[in-house]
Amino acid sequence: MTSAEGGRRAGWFTGSDADPDAPFTAFVFPHAGGSAAQYRSWSQTMPPGFDVRVLQLPGRQERFQEKALDDLDAMVEALQEPFEGELDGRPYLIFGHSFGALLAYRLAVALVRDGGTAPALLGVSGWAPGSEVAGPGRETVAGLSDAELLDRVAELGMMPHGVSLDPATLATVLPALRGDLLAVGGFRDDLAPAPCPVAAFGGADDPLLPGEGMDAWARRGTDFLGTTTFPGGHFYLFDHAAAVQHSLGRHLRRLVPTA
């Protein structure tokens, strides 16, 4: 197992401006093609008492020279040791949006399977078991040109509003986006239960999760804490991050009241 310092040197997690003596740690996993920069403000906006770490997968920003991974099991395997190196005995939660929710769930399953410490809370947003949030399947993604891939994810509402589509930006985003979508498209659900309480969040008009799609977690968690729905589509989160953060804080303080 690596040390927390070694885990950060490996580049998997951003640092936090929060108090290192905070009673809780919060890990944030971005959406497909997303980067730590898009969630870095969580370090300042989470409720008091949280030391925030944001995942930075290979193939984006300062890790752009590293090849983006495109297999979910390989991602979990590569992530597990540096993640465990970040743990220091404090109760922790993992929150993931869209692809990040799937990755967070599978990491939590792997951690407990291998005898590690389970999260005190798993926060999931924009992805649920059995949903179509992956968009194109693995074979379809592999056969799409860059332009076709962008058209497809835009059609599915999987591109945040305001994302620049200029060539320079696309050159830095597309490898990671394609890799993440290949990973999700190749996911084969083994129905593994989440090894900790689950709190779900979603957008009322998310085209990928119609109706009560996030409630599918009720059949997957050891303790389902319910779904909180906000106005907006698949990327509702960027307009309602503070409300989601405070909900996560309330849930965790109820689950770990003496921390």
SS (H, E, C) 42-87: HHHHCCCCEEEEEECCCCCHHHCCCCCCCCHHHHHHHHHHHHHHHC
Q: Is the pLDDT of residue 210 over 90?
A: no
**Phi and psi (nearest 5°) for 12?**
-80, -25
Segment 3-15 mean pLDDT? 58
Determine the pLDDT at residue 1: 38
Contact by Cβ (8 Å): 28, 55: yes
Supply the pLDDT for residue 157: 63
CATH superfamily of 4-251: Alpha/Beta hydrolase fold, catalytic domain (3.40.50.1820)
Q: Domain segments of the chain: what residues? A: 4-251
> Is the confidence at residue 150, as pLDDT, over 80?
no
Classified as helix, coil or strand, 3 is: coil
Which 3 state secondary structure label does DSSP give 95?
strand
Is the pTM above the cut of 0.75?
yes
- DSSP SS3 for 31: coil
pLDDT of residue 221: 73
Per-residue pLDDT at 133 exceeds 70: no
DSSP assigned state of 231: S
Q: Which pLDDT value is given to residue 23?
A: 94
- pLDDT on residue 149: 77
pLDDT grade for 8, boundaries at 50, 70 and 90: very low
What pLDDT, in 10s, does the model give residues 47-59?
A: 989 999 999 999 9
